[in-house]
Structures are given as structure tokens and as C-alpha cells.
Amino acid sequence: MYFYPELSRQQQASLPELLAPAVALEAQFPDSTHQLWQCDTADGKMILKVCHQQRVQDSMFWLGINHLFQLDFPNSLGRTQSISQFLQREGWFAVPEVVAEQAGHYVLVRYLEGVDLSANQIDNTTVTQLAHHWGKLHQHLSTKWGSIEKPIFSANDWP
């Protein structure tokens, strides 16, 4: 029997059974806030993303994003499913299916076929694709605004 790295037995009790030891993936960015693991499970290939709390607390990027958008990261990891559904519905990129999540700690997703992107591969084309994705997300229309999963403010409250 194999165990998911950095998860307690209780956390992994309801997760798909591992068929082999999880393989740690190399961090692609020096300020990465998560450790990624490739997991071969009885339910297919998956990626486990485990949050390093201290890196988040030390990250000027996440401090700014949390303040600007009231994101509450890494606690928002517990809402990855609803955020993923929004991105799937409104965005331009494929989004992996969320299998399990726990606020402040981890996310387990189905493996998404494709080529992993590394920092040295980011070029003008990649930035343009990301801009199109963000542009599509910003075209989302709603009569309410606020958090992605529960917008509570009326459009009239914006001013």
C-alpha cells in the first residue's frame, strides 16, 4: 500500500488508492507556493498539489492578490471545485477536474494531457494566450459581483 505524500491518513482515506509511490515534480518557479506530485491511482493519473503555508505568507504576490481580491489564499483551496467550474465555463483554457480539496492544504486533480510549461518557455505567444483567457473571463456578465462562488453585491452597488 502506498500513501499520498504530506497528507495524513485521515485526509487520504477517501482518495483513490495509489498504485505506485507518488513522484515529486520539480518546481518551475522560484516562488512556487506548492509541491506538485504525479500520482498513479486506481482511478487514473492525477496531480496532487500540496500548499506550503510559509511560502504563501512570504509571497508579496499572494499578499497583494489576497488583499486586492479578498481571495483568502490558501484557504480558498477548499473552493477549488467551484472556481474550476467557473473557469471551465467562462475561460479559454482547459481546466483539470477537481477530485478532492481541503482548505489551506491540498488539491487533487485529474491529470490533464499536454505539455508542461516551464519558465523558460514563456514567450510572447504564451502571454498573448493568457491575455485572451483573462479577456474572456472579464467579459463574464452578471447582475451580482463579489467572490466567484457567491457574488452577493448588486450591480447597482458598484459605484
- On the 0-12 / 13-18 / 19+ scale of CB atoms within 10 A, 41 is buried
32 pLDDT above the threshold of 90: no
Evaluate if residue 146 carries a pLDDT over 80.
Answer: no
Asked whether the predicted pLDDT for residue 72 surpasses 90, the reply is no
Separation between Cα atoms, residue 32 and residue 52, nearest integer Å: 9
What three-state secondary structure class fits 3? coil
Residues 6+ apart with CB under 8 A from 92: 129, 132, 133, 136
Q: Is the dihedral of CA 15, 8, 5, 61 positive or negative?
A: positive
Q: How confident is the model at residue 103 (pLDDT cuts 50, 70, 90)?
A: confident
pLDDT (tens digit per residue) in 121-142:
889 998 998 898 888 888 888 8
| 148: pLDDT strictly greater than 90 | no
Q: CA nearest 83: which of 37, 132, 151?
A: 151
User: Tens of pLDDT along 5-19?
Assistant: 999 999 999 999 999
Rounded (5°) CA angle 152-155-159: 110
Higher pLDDT, 65 or 4: 4
Q: What is the mean pLDDT of residues 9-38?
A: 91
This prediction has a pTM of 0.79
